[in-house]
Chains A and B, each alone.
Chain A
Amino acid sequence: MPHINFNNDFPGIRSAMAYSPETAAPMGVLAEILLRSTEGLQPAERELIGMYVSYLNDCFYCHHSHGEIACIYLGGDRALVEQVRKDYTQAPISEKLKSLLGIAAKVQQGGKFVTAEDVSNAKANGADDKDIHDTVLIAAAFCMFNRYVDGLATTTPTDMSSYPLRAQQIVDNGYGSHVYSAKQPV
């Protein structure tokens, strides 16, 4: 049961956002730019970083929601999403993305864990300053989203078939207030 009365039955972050639309608005804008920008990192890569950080934070709702969104961007390659989560170093992804996932994992522990060496490795693998910036901010933002979702004990759907439907809604319409103002896909 959620820690507070949201006055709605939405799942996960949607319930908290509907409860507090004033704060949801900038959070939606931030997610849209960070996760759907096609400059530099691609949406699939951005979502994989969000999925991985949510997994490390043990946030079931965010981890599975963003895993499904990444899966759609990857043409349905769920095995790849699972491989990244289990051991990204062995996944068939670019060396650049591997080093960025390494940086994201450091950010999850704490900002100070990121070393100059981590950053120079990523640069040697082809990451530019904007890729590094966006990786750190995506990882940091999920440390917020995950805490918001679990810190208020929002409802986590247990029906796994509902996750791809909400994921498709995000892929089709992006992030924003529609996630709690439009009809839920499930």
Chain B
Amino acid sequence: MAHIKVEEGIPGIRSLVLFRPETGKPLYDLAQVLLRGPSPLTEAERELIAAYVSHRNGCNFCMSSHAAAARCLYGEDKNIVDEVLADMFRSNVSDKMKALLHIAGKVQISGKEVKPAEISAAKALGANDREIHDTVLIASCFSMFNRYVDGLASFTPTDPAVYEEMGKRMATGYVAPTRP
């Protein structure tokens, strides 16, 4: 049960946004611009970073839902998502993407963990400033979302089919839920 009185049966962040729509709106706006707005990273790559950070934070709701969105966006290459979650360094993502995911993993621990060596490694593999910026902000952002969702013990569905549906909806973009 959630730590505060939210509507029963509504999963994860959606229940929290319905509890406090004033903060829900900028949170969804941020997710939309960061994960769907202009970026040299594809939407699939950005969802993969989100799922990877959520996985490292042990946030099952965010990990399962953003992994589902990433699978949806990767289409035929959807196995990439499960490879990265199982063992990022041995997965089949590009070396540049591995370097960016590695930076995201450092951000998940702490901002100070990102050292010049990680940045120059990513740049040597072709990452530009915008890609590094977006990676750091996505990882930072999910360090917030994961804590928000788990810190209030919001409802985490366990049925994978629920997440598959959620992923399809998320692939089309983020709009804050409103009361029916």
Contact = CB atoms under 8 A, between A and B. Distances in A.
Interface of A: 3-5, 16, 19-20, 22-23, 25-27, 29-30, 33-34, 37, 57-59, 103, 106-107, 110-112, 114, 116, 119, 129-130, 132-134, 136-137, 139-141, 143-153
A153 B114 contact: yes
A129 to B, nearest CB: 4
A4 B111 CA distance: 14
Taking residues whose C-beta sits less than 8 angstroms from the other chain, chain B's interface range is: 35 or more
Given A130-B20, A140-B151, A152-B136, A27 B112 contact: no
Contact of B149 (A111, A116, A133, A139): A111
A26 B33 contact: yes
A143 B146 CA distance: 10
A111 B3 contact: no
B47 interface: no
B148 A140 contact: yes
Interface of B: 3-5, 16, 19-20, 22-23, 25-27, 29-30, 33-34, 37-38, 57-59, 103, 106-107, 110-112, 114, 116, 119, 129, 132-133, 136-137, 139-141, 143-153
B29 to A, nearest CB: 4
Contact of A29 (B25, B38, B114, B150): B25
Contacts of A143: 140, 143-144, 147
B150 A152 contact: no
A116 to B, nearest CB: 7
B105 to A, nearest CB: 11
Nearest to B37: A22
A30 B137 contact: no
Interface majority SS (helix, strand, loop, mixed), chain B: helix
- Of listed B29, B119, B146, B147, residue having the most chain A CB within 10 A: B147
Contacts of A136: 3, 147-148, 151-152
B112 A133 contact: no
Given A19-B133, A22-B33, A144-B143, A30 B107 contact: no
A4 B137 contact: no
Interface majority SS (helix, strand, loop, mixed), chain A: helix
B33 A133 contact: no
A107 B147 contact: yes
A88 B106 CA distance: 29
A58 B109 CA distance: 12
A147 B30 contact: no
Given A147-B136, A151-B111, A129 B147 contact: no
A3 B132 contact: yes
Given A16-B137, A26-B26, A112-B151, 19 more contacts: A4-B133, A20-B137, A22-B33, A29-B25, A59-B111, A110-B150, A111-B150, A114-B3, A116-B3, A130-B20, A132-B4, A132-B152, A134-B23, A143-B140, A143-B147, A145-B140, A150-B110, A152-B132, A152-B136
